[in-house]
Amino acid sequence: MTTKRMLIMLILTGVVFGAVFGMKWFGTKMMNEYVNNMPTPPVTVSATTVKAMTWPNELTPIGTLIAVNGADVTSEVGGIVTRIHFESGAMVKRGDRLIELDADAERAELQRLRAQANLADTNRKRREQLFRQEAISKSELDMVIAESEAARAAVEAQAARLAQKEIRAPFDGRLGVRRVAVGQYLAPGTAIVNLQSLDPIDIDFSLPEQHLGDVDVGFDVAVKVDAWPGRTFEGAVMAVEPRIETATRNFLVRARMPNEDHQLRPGLFGQVTLSLAGARDVLAVPRTAINYSSYGTSVFVIEPVENPEEGRPDKSAAQRFVKVGDARGDFVEIVEGLKEGDEVATSGLLKLRNGQPVVIDYEQTPDAKLDPQPAQS
């Protein structure tokens, strides 16, 4: 009897647990079927069509402004600073005196050498007269002439050493911050002040080797700098480096621009627009239509839905990978993957999935421009 009761209890327990698990399985199955059959909610996006455009043939590298002439003014000799003839930030001309060093000993030595040179010249004139009278030999006259010339050379050498005690501007330009003071000992090679020639000014930039045949001297450049937003500085290419850098496979280009108001300064970064010959036809979409990710660059193409259900959107989004080229203003060039007239989503990309139903709100389409300008307040 006990065994029979235990068997009945086990059977009843199995039936109860089987019913519970069966109900759980059935509920999950019905829930999955409901979710799978539930219609995907549509997403509202803006859209535009792929446009055929003609772009000027341009390159847009980043460059660095450099002075035509620029250097730290230094002294060739050492000495105590006795006078300073400039102020920080002043404009100077080539040859303007900047500072003087103590030169009393050099002046005294120059006077002594001049006295010796004068005496040597007097002896030379006397010996020349005696030679004409045949009172001395030619060798004696040659010795006196050599002594006279050596004395005069010593004067010139000392005068040059004395001139080194006055440091002058090597070229026209604007001075920087003064780095010396009166009474300071100035060692040879010590920087006194920075001097930069600002008008005209050069800009250096690098281009990939495939553009070596596209660039030539005289091509126009336009430069924009963050320091002066909204302003464009114009110039022209003055030199193209004949050598390709093996490490980067780039070559250097230098352009020159007028800078009468001295607003451009050496060291500034500049956004260069280099105008090449001709123009090119491209397909372009707004930047906001491009979806960049680690596995590729894509867009969402708006496609019609075949036989849409009543009350459901008649368009859906299909993700398509593309190859992009240059960017101009608010547009990006499409090299591969799209054709003219294709409609692409321009907003709400993060909400889209492949096959997602969409509703197009054309009033919200961004106003893309080739030459966008910052809003004026």
132-183 pLDDT, tens digit each:
877 778 888 788 888 888 888 988 888 888 888 888 999 999 999 999 888 8
Q: Is 269 exposed, middle or buried (0-12, 13-18, 19+ CB in 10 A)?
A: middle
C-alpha–C-alpha distance, residues 69 and 179, integer Å? 20
List CB contacts of 219: < 8 A, sequence separation 6 or more. Answer: 236, 237, 274, 275, 276
Same domain, 83 and 140: no
Q: Of 251, 279, 307, which closes a domain? A: 279
Q: Coil, helix or strand for 349?
A: helix
Read off the CATH number of the domain in which 268 is found: 2.40.30.170
Asked whether residue 30 is assigned to any structural domain, the reply reads no
Per-residue confidence (pLDDT) for residue 377, from 0 to 100: 41
Q: Of 231, 248, 279, which closes a domain? A: 279
Given pLDDT bands bounded at 50, 70 and 90, which one contains residue 364?
A: confident
Per-residue confidence (pLDDT) for residue 281, from 0 to 100: 87
Same domain, 260 and 324: no
Per-residue confidence (pLDDT) for residue 366, from 0 to 100: 72
C-alpha–C-alpha distance, residues 332 and 102, integer Å? 66
Same domain, 211 and 160: no
Nearest CA-CA partner of 326 in 89, 59, 63, 147: 59
What pTM does this model have? 0.64
Q: Residue 348: is its pLDDT beyond 60?
A: yes
Per-residue confidence (pLDDT) for residue 203, from 0 to 100: 94
Asked whether residue 21 is assigned to any structural domain, the reply reads no
Per-residue confidence (pLDDT) for residue 329, from 0 to 100: 81
Same domain, 148 and 95: no
Same domain, 265 and 288: no
Tens digit of pLDDT for each residue in 244-291?
999 989 999 999 999 988 899 999 999 998 888 777 888 999 988 898
Asked whether residue 38 is assigned to any structural domain, the reply reads no
Provide the domain count of the chain: 4
- Give bridge partners of residue 301 from the DSSP assignment: 318, 344
Read off the CATH number of the domain in which 311 is found: 2.40.420.20
Structural domain range at position 127:
103-164
Q: Of 196, 211, 240, which closes a domain? A: 196
Per-residue confidence (pLDDT) for residue 27, from 0 to 100: 73
